[in-house]
Structure 1
Amino acid sequence: SLHPSYKWASAHIGDVSMTFSPYTLAGHQFTGGGFDLNPEGKFQVSAMYGRFLKATEYNFEEPQAITAYKRMGYGIKAVYDFDFVKLGAILFKASDEASSLENPFPVELGLSPKENAVVSFESEFKVLDKARIRIEYAISGVTEDSRLTDARQKSGLLSFILNENISSNYYNALNASFDYPAGNGTLGVGYERIDPDYKTLGAYYFNNDLENITINANQTLLDNKLNLSVNAGLQQDNLDKAKSSNQQRIVSSINANYTASERLGINASYSNFQSYTNIRDQFDYINQVGALDNLDTLNYRQISQNANLGVNYILKKTETKQHSANVNLVYQNSTNEQEGAAIEGGENSFYNGVAAYTLGYPERALNVSFAGNISYNTGADDNNMTLGPTLAIGKQFLDKKLRTNFSSSYNMDYTNGDQRNKVLNFRLGSNYSILQKHNLGLNFMALFRNSTLNTNRDLTITFGYSYFFDNFKLHVEPGSRSRSLNELSITENTLSFRYRDVSYSGAIYELNEQLTNVYESSRFADVPQFKKDDLKILLATVKEQKKEDRYKENALTFLKELYAFGDFKEVYNNALFNVITKFQDDMRKIDIALEKLFVIKKLEADRHSMNGKEKSEYKAENQVLAERYQALLTEQQTRLEKLVGHRWMENQFAAYDSRQVVERPSGYLKSFKEAMATQAFQQYDSSGDEEALENYLEVQIIDFYYKRSLNVVNPDLFDLKYIDKN
């Protein structure tokens, strides 16, 4: 697949996947193209078109093989930010081609050409200054068999785009959440309701017939060392009362990340929410022969319990040596139920453990990793276990332009205690960078598999070339779902750095996830859109780095810019308070000057030869004098408005007698501060000059209060303070 991008535009070409929302297009792979447009501003749009399934005829020799109609689909998502509310709409359409299968197939398959149209509306807005509400409502129309000709009794809401017949049905989904900042985190509530049998052809599978009511909390504790997220609530099914029994249960999830020190990091999680996931253990990656292996493999299970524990510890870190160890444990349990009870053979458990030790020699650009993996599955009839060690070595040469890696794994597979397979593989890879833009890659892979039935030997050699454009990024992926061995923690260098009392530690792909989670956290939800666009580019630049020093340098730059808006709030308060203080000091001098200017114009108007004359008395030779007189009256009125507006503003500013008033403003000052926050930050972000920021705010606050005064002050009600009225 190809993923070219330029500034705020990106495209996806080939075998790719996109996500609009959980209820419309949700990660289903398709062959085609799509794009995302995120220009600086308020409008965003994404669209796609492609083939979701290829036509696959029924195979009488292998009746268990998949049979499918050709399925084509398209979709578009548009979002617009109106400042006070963000609105979005999604349209997704997919349909099977009934003529794509030529050969007959058994009726027992229950296969029919389907058609689906989904429309979704989403919104996000703030209430109570800081609280945030998000809502998504989706309606999905599904025609189960497009070959039927009997009409539906009543046209549905999507009949304008969906070919309806007697097999057409409509389903609804609603998701709403409310979040409010509290302490060093957020508190919130959520509600989700999905109709029974809700489906979309833009997703592989997901739960329906459920209603969730949840309470969630996220807090940073212990001097920012512990980040804790908790989500708990009530889940129930049988929404249409069609089942003979209801199921209600308390659901919960908890995630904890603890940075005990610069050396030790611990993360743990647990959830018993129902979900569907694609489970593939480490050995799927270790034993794959090529990058395209398992590309179309679907292994979805319903997960009713999920627990994870990870520990990273840096044993030693100097300029010449770095020793680190990490352990990761995973437990997942899936249960298939019918009428609320587990069916026979419907419960499965999955256990996976990885332990790795890494030796790093930065000056030599050398890393050596030792790891052990074990996976254990329990099912209805069989218990399967796979285990084995892995050795990985990475070395860089020629001023780090040539990167080489070697790895070898040996694992054994057991079923019910009997050994079934033994797999030994060797991998040798290299990548050479020429003039920073050209990259050559050469990889060898040898795999030896011995089983009770046969023996296989595979040798794979791949060669690749890539070119990096100056202002154009082209990311080529041989398979969007495959992951190479180099992405596993057992072969990655372990990096660690600290920013703002928060430690980041792990392999590069783990650091990428940590930085993404920080970027998407509620703490930075109020960062202006123009800054978010810049941060997306910076984060993408971080993820492109492969060298340790360059990665750390770019990561720290990203974090500095991420915190910039929060840091600016203090600068903003200082600048605004200084501007107000300056005005308060100059108010009387400005008032005297404005009154004097008004009196001068008033005297000129009073002494003008046209003063006191009605327009009916104007003669032709007086036309020029009349125009000048009217211009003089207009200027007199303008100066009067400025004078009374200034005096009104003086009364307003008299109440701004402390810095606390600026930090927690109300009334007009609050409106001004909120309205100017983004523009002021943009001004300061581009120059870094506090004096220039104050000058900018000075001009803006005068204009703001002057315009407000025109609506609340009567210019005729004024009094001369400094000049003799006679």
Structure 2
Amino acid sequence: MKEAILIVVILLSADLMPQTQNEGNDTTMNSATNIIKDAVTSSIKISGDAGTYGEFYTISGKANRRPPTTGRIFFRPSITLFDNFSISFDIFLSTEGNAARQQISTLSLHPTWGWSKWHIGDFSADMSKFTLSGLNIRGGGVELNPGWIRFAAYGGQSQRATNTGAFTSTYARNVVAGKIGFGSETNFIDFNVVKVKDDLNSLPRDIFTRIDTTVVDTLTKIDTTYTGVTAQENLVIGTTTAFRLFNGIFSFRGEAAGSIFTKDLLSDAVDSKDLPEGMDKIYKPRMSTSADYAYTADMNLNFRVVTMRLGYSEIGPGYTSLGLPSVINDKRSLNTGIGFNLFDGLFSIQGTYQAQNNNLGKQKLNTTNRNAYGISASITPVRDINISLNTSYNTLVNDAKNDTLKIDNSNISFSSTVSFQLNLFGLRHNVSTTYGNQLYQDANILRKGSDVTSHNMNISLSTTFNPQWSASVSSSYNLVQIQDRGDNSTSTLSMRAMNRSFNNKLNSSASYSLTNSQASIVHAINMQTSYPVMANGSISASMRVSLFVGKGANASSFRETTGNINYGYRF
């Protein structure tokens, strides 16, 4: 691709030069062409990747769980001019999108010039944990970082309107966000603002209309109500800061944000005389509007042999940010941890503690508390042997006095893994064994007899025969004992073979697994292969066949087949 662009530029340049029959002029033109070619080569750099993906799916014995065919195409080139200006494109097309859900296909441009970066089309902005992060936006944005200035502005649509009924439709949602800050990537303070509002005109009102008729004496009374999803609005303002001291030994990161959220834009507006002057010009509160806050702080100490962490956060019960894919509110959390790395890494141990509770606004009848304790250790007594030990203890308790509402359960688990390498029969082997035990107990008298104990055992062996061939086999057994209900067990046997051929260019593998439980038997076969095409390309293919055979009351069976082929090229 680089060569093609260079050839086009050179030919166009050559056509613009005067034509002559003089050999001296021809020599001059050739020299000029070479100069242009060298200048273009050194001034223009093109990189990126492109590829295609195709998938087929079949099933017999039950209804389809996936589309029968799927296709995807992506193209992500980046062009750099004079090592100063660059522009990147992101094109993604898929057959998986339709009018009843959000679009998957994307098209975007990301020009970069010095300390500025621009977004045009589909992009994801990341401002902070409580304001805007991980949200796909179709629109535009700019990020400017001249020296110690940190500025960003974004705008666009985060979801499109879909008309699929009163309770499953979505309004078109528009987002405007920005930040201004000072500092570097590791030491900064930012001030963030996000405004999100649904478009009431993006869906017809009649899909939410519900008409009820009642007969009173001889008259028929018609009652019209509206039901279903509602158009929403949200304003979030916050600040984020982070800094490091003593060459990174101490680090701190914190954020605080306030949120105003309106659940229904058609609810009655609040009388403006009860509001601060000018507020209704920025945000118009309604009867369905709520406000709350969230904040978090994390501190870390990192020494050579010891690390420590302390974190605290609160998210109010009414805190909402539509600039995030999701947020769990009404939560207070304390996180602590300490770790030691001793004897040049031969022995390490870590301890963690987490406390969490809800009902921050005292609006619920009861408060639920969660506590989690954990210890993990890793020991390497000799070079080829490693031992890992993990244990955790979790509790979930509320303060309800009524047995019906009372929550009082605990969960304790322990696991150990021993891995070692050995040479046997002239071959190199890796052996790993794992045992895990978990006990769940419920102290509520109404749920007496529901304790659960589980045991899980696994052993695996992998062997390298030569540089071309290797194989592995593993077996696992899981036993779940439910008090007063009996036992359930599941056993799994897996085998896999791997091959490298044609100078290690063709990589292939095949595997088989058998899972046997009291409810079913499942056979699964997987095959994969990949091969480089040209200098920077690769083609790969895989196929999976599953056969499910039910037992007892669930005696049905089905076969499922999935295959795909993928081609990728980097330039």
| Same fold? TM cut 0.5 | yes
Instruction: Note if 1:409 corresponds to 2:513.
Output: yes
SS in 2 for 1:363: coil
**Larger fraction in helix:** 1
Instruction: Note if 1:125 corresponds to 2:232.
Output: no
Q: What corresponds to 1:447 in structure 2?
A: 546
Provide Cα deviations, 1:15-48, integer angstroms capped at 9, x if missing partner.
Answer: 59876544345656x5859999899986778869
SS in 2 for 1:223: helix
2:340 to 194, 202, 219: 219
Conserved? CA contact 1:314–1:325, under 8 Å: yes
> Offset at 1:200?
3.1
The one-letter code sitting in structure 2 at the alignment partner of 1:268 is N
d(CA) in 2 for partners of 1:271, 1:9: 51
Provide Cα deviations, 1:74-110, integer angstroms capped at 9, x if missing partner.
Answer: 4667765359942234444544455447644889987
Conserved? CA contact 2:269–2:285, under 8 Å: no
SS in 1 for 2:466: helix
Instruction: Note if 1:113 corresponds to 2:113.
Output: no
> Offset at 1:350?
10
Q: What corresponds to 1:143 in structure 2?
A: 262
The one-letter code sitting in structure 1 at the alignment partner of 2:170 is Y
Q: What corresponds to 2:534 in structure 1?
A: 435
Q: What corresponds to 1:23 in structure 2?
A: 130
> Offset at 1:399?
0.8
Q: What corresponds to 1:492 in structure 2?
A: none
Higher RCO (CA-CA < 8 Å; seq separation 6+): 2
Instruction: Note if 1:361 corresponds to 2:464.
Output: yes
1:228 to 349, 363, 388: 349
SS in 1 for 2:344: coil
SS in 2 for 1:199: coil
1:241 to 350, 362, 367: 362
Instruction: Note if 1:324 corresponds to 2:423.
Output: no
d(CA) in 1 for partners of 2:457, 2:368: 36
Q: Aligned in 2, Cα 1:22/1:70: closer, same or farther, shift over 3 Å?
A: same
The one-letter code sitting in structure 2 at the alignment partner of 1:270 is S
2:188 to 86, 91, 94: 86
> Offset at 1:168?
1.3
Q: What corresponds to 1:460 in structure 2?
A: 562
> Offset at 1:181?
4.3
Q: 1:179-578 residue pairs with structure 2 within 5 A? A: 179-182=300-303, 184-203=305-324, 206-232=327-353, 234-247=355-368, 250-265=371-386, 266=388, 268=390, 270=392, 272=394, 309=415, 311=417, 313-316=419-422, 321-327=427-433, 353=456, 355-361=458-464, 363-373=466-476, 387-412=491-516, 414=518, 419=519, 421-451=520-550, 452=554, 454-469=556-571
Q: How many residues align?
A: 425
> Offset at 1:407?
1.4
> Offset at 1:268?
2.8
> Offset at 1:176?
1.3
Task: Provide TM-score, normalisation by structure 1.
Answer: 0.47
> Offset at 1:398?
0.4
d(CA) in 2 for partners of 1:159, 1:385: 63
Q: What corresponds to 2:296 in structure 1?
A: 175
Task: Provide TM-score, normalisation by structure 2.
Answer: 0.58
Q: 1:692-703 residue pairs with structure 2 within 5 A? A: none
d(CA) in 2 for partners of 1:350, 1:142: 44
Instruction: Note if 1:55 corresponds to 2:176.
Output: no
Q: Aligned in 2, Cα 1:32/1:318: closer, same or farther, shift over 3 Å?
A: farther
The one-letter code sitting in structure 2 at the alignment partner of 1:167 is S
Comparing 396-405 and 14-23, the one that deviates more: 14-23
Conserved? CA contact 1:115–1:163, under 8 Å: no
d(CA) in 2 for partners of 1:391, 1:449: 18
> Offset at 1:359?
2.4
Conserved? CA contact 1:24–1:92, under 8 Å: yes
d(CA) in 2 for partners of 1:19, 1:249: 30
d(CA) in 1 for partners of 2:369, 2:288: 31
d(CA) in 2 for partners of 1:77, 1:381: 59
The one-letter code sitting in structure 2 at the alignment partner of 1:147 is L
d(CA) in 2 for partners of 1:189, 1:163: 39
> Offset at 1:467?
0.6
Provide Cα deviations, 1:351-400, integer angstroms capped at 9, x if missing partner.
Answer: 69573524232633222122335667899999976543222221111011
Conserved? CA contact 2:375–2:391, under 8 Å: yes
Q: Aligned in 2, Cα 1:466/1:237: closer, same or farther, shift over 3 Å?
A: closer
Provide Cα deviations, 1:446-481, integer angstroms capped at 9, x if missing partner.
Answer: 222233364322333322211112xxxxxxxxxxxx
Instruction: Note if 1:69 corresponds to 2:190.
Output: no
The one-letter code sitting in structure 2 at the alignment partner of 1:314 is F
d(CA) in 2 for partners of 1:180, 1:465: 45
d(CA) in 1 for partners of 2:542, 2:302: 50
Conserved? CA contact 1:135–1:177, under 8 Å: yes
Conserved? CA contact 1:12–1:35, under 8 Å: no
SS in 1 for 2:286: coil
d(CA) in 1 for partners of 2:264, 2:482: 35
Conserved? CA contact 2:527–2:542, under 8 Å: yes
Provide Cα deviations, 1:112-135, integer angstroms capped at 9, x if missing partner.
Answer: 333333333211134688533321
Conserved? CA contact 1:27–1:203, under 8 Å: yes
RMSD across aligned positions (CA): 5.1
d(CA) in 2 for partners of 1:243, 1:428: 53
Conserved? CA contact 1:272–1:306, under 8 Å: yes
Q: Aligned in 2, Cα 1:119/1:361: closer, same or farther, shift over 3 Å?
A: same
The one-letter code sitting in structure 1 at the alignment partner of 2:263 is E
d(CA) in 1 for partners of 2:384, 2:296: 40
Note the residue ranges of structure 1 that are not aligned, 5 or more in a row. 60-65, 275-302, 470-726
d(CA) in 2 for partners of 1:433, 1:156: 67
d(CA) in 1 for partners of 2:226, 2:431: 53
Conserved? CA contact 2:195–2:235, under 8 Å: yes
The one-letter code sitting in structure 1 at the alignment partner of 2:428 is Q
Q: What corresponds to 1:570 in structure 2?
A: none
Conserved? CA contact 1:3–1:10, under 8 Å: no
Q: Aligned in 2, Cα 1:233/1:390: closer, same or farther, shift over 3 Å?
A: closer
> Offset at 1:216?
3.2
Conserved? CA contact 1:146–1:163, under 8 Å: no
- Percentage of identical aligned residues: 16
The one-letter code sitting in structure 2 at the alignment partner of 1:456 is F
> Offset at 1:247?
4.7
> Offset at 1:5?
8.2
Q: Aligned in 2, Cα 1:133/1:446: closer, same or farther, shift over 3 Å?
A: closer
Note the residue ranges of structure 2 that are not aligned, 5 or more in a row. 1-71, 81-85, 93-103, 105-122, 211-224, 397-408
The one-letter code sitting in structure 1 at the alignment partner of 2:515 is N
d(CA) in 2 for partners of 1:327, 1:56: 53
Provide Cα deviations, 1:680-701, integer angstroms capped at 9, x if missing partner.
Answer: xxxxxxxxxxxxxxxxxxxxxx
Conserved? CA contact 2:254–2:295, under 8 Å: yes
